[in-house]
A and B are shown apart, each in its own frame.
Chain A
């Protein structure tokens, strides 16, 4: 088996320092919607300057390099134990290179491990065996500020008047955006999962964020809800950084999973504007990144 530590280190560097083109494009469009001279426009202009600077200097876009979430899809025959060791080694090296901030804290002692390792869940790695020859590793860095404003609702929700249908989903998601205000570093991107249990629902809400901004939802009703939620969330007027303005969210990504008859969860993972996610494909000894 190949040692992928070096290519994975490059994946981490790229993810932390180089914002994906679709996200940067959405931010550029957002600038044009804000009034000249407004705090909202100033915030977005600063954000874009920072994106360019981080890319040029290979420094983290945001100092909170977040929870490293790895999604590994591997052909048959790969050892996930060995891949985990390589990912952990790459993460520790990335921390030493200051591409990542040491972010892994023991919840009981309060001690920071200093290298972004610690226990079975830091970094978080999801493995799935897939058909074909290519090994694909996707990495998302999700900061704590936006993770803290994520929310999960159990429907029906009488206070919000939200029943167990897409109309109810719309209401609770708008509530989550309002609760978040600017604290999740608006303009955000909403990852929404309908159904599942509490754990699988949150998991799916993050996985939904792997879809590119310009990639439409294959389900027509969900595609319509994504567009409506984006438009209505922006009517809340929270704006970039919560300064007020036209752009509160850049997009919404909705997925659904089966649920128990008794349960109807809606989970919202709020992603900050620094929407750091990159993909690495390893095939026939060749690596490519997107």
Chain B
């Protein structure tokens, strides 16, 4: 399996191709529904004013996301009472819910990798070509196993979103993913969708 270090260069991300297994190491951040809506509303479309610690969190996110990786994950975390945080279970969540936001977030922050499950649609695929970036598929439900590749929790932002929705900064080693959407406009998900549609039509006609 090929090893890739975060932050990721444009050259490296362009060299990744659909179907390739990759082991990621470095610092990444989790973000899902609440985080994506917050980033887009507050700092990209600016439909709401920053409040509370919004500006501080934004400033902290920028260097992590530049050349970085965002992980669609709502972990189970131990040590909440002592703040000695440890990921217990941390598989991917369904990415398609971030389709309205992801492309804008990738362009705004120069995100190189998006990890999740289930794949994403045409807007994100276009952003992968432009950024450039790639969608990296983790194994859904393999939560205990994936948590073992999370070596340390470095911090957490927006814990008021709740544990699953907070943005956890994590150091990972050999985090296993498969490239399913690449910087060259190829999507394994679009291929499977089309093939399975034609198989369905045959079955329905039978």
B203 and A174 within 8 A (CB)? yes
B140 and A241 within 8 A (CB)? yes
Please choose the segment from B41-49, B57-65, B89-97, B102-110 that sits at the chain A interface, where 4 or more of its residues have CB less than 8 A away. Answer: B89-97
CB contacts (< 8 Å) of A60 on chain B: these are 76, 88-89, 143-144
Closest chain B residue to A149, Cβ basis: B94
Check B119 for interface membership: any CB of A closer than 8 A: yes
**Given A62-B141, A63-B89, also A244-B147 (CB < 8 A):** no
B residues neighboring A (CB under 8 Å): 19, 21, 34, 73-78, 88-91, 93-94, 96, 117-119, 137, 139-148, 161-165, 176, 178, 180, 188-189, 191-193, 195-197, 199-200, 203-204
Bound Cα distance from A6 to B165, whole angstroms = 30
A residues neighboring B (CB under 8 Å): 39, 42-43, 46-47, 49-50, 53-54, 57, 59-65, 98, 100-103, 105, 110-112, 114, 143-145, 148, 160-161, 171, 174-175, 178, 181-183, 185, 232, 235-239, 241-244, 272-274
**Given A181-B193, A182-B119, also A62-B143 (CB < 8 A):** yes
Bound Cα distance from A100 to B164, whole angstroms = 11
Q: Which of A103, A178, A239 has the most CB of B within 10 A?
A: A178
Q: State the Cβ distance, A3 to closest chain B Cβ, in Å.
A: 25
The 10 closest A-B pairs by CB, nearest first: A112-B162, A183-B118, A63-B89, A185-B140, A50-B142, A60-B89, A50-B145, A63-B143, A274-B141, A54-B144
B164 and A42 within 8 A (CB)? no
CB contacts (< 8 Å) of B140 on chain A: these are 62, 145, 182, 185, 241, 272
CB contacts (< 8 Å) of A53 on chain B: these are 144-145, 148
Closest chain B residue to A171, Cβ basis: B204
Bound Cα distance from A182 to B120, whole angstroms = 11
Q: State the Cβ distance, A97 to closest chain B Cβ, in Å.
A: 9
CB contacts (< 8 Å) of A103 on chain B: these are 164
CB contacts (< 8 Å) of B118 on chain A: these are 145, 181-183, 241-242
Bound Cα distance from A244 to B142, whole angstroms = 18
Q: State the Cβ distance, A236 to closest chain B Cβ, in Å.
A: 4
B192 and A47 within 8 A (CB)? no
Q: State the Cβ distance, B71 to closest chain A Cβ, in Å.
A: 11
CB contacts (< 8 Å) of B191 on chain A: these are 244
Q: State the Cβ distance, B163 to closest chain A Cβ, in Å.
A: 5
Q: State the Cβ distance, B132 to closest chain A Cβ, in Å.
A: 22
Closest chain A residue to B204, Cβ basis: A171
CB contacts (< 8 Å) of B145 on chain A: these are 46, 49-50, 53
**Given A112-B163, A181-B193, A183-B118, also A175-B200 (CB < 8 A):** yes
**Given A185-B117, A232-B203, also A178-B197 (CB < 8 A):** yes
Q: State the Cβ distance, A231 to closest chain B Cβ, in Å.
A: 10
B94 and A59 within 8 A (CB)? no
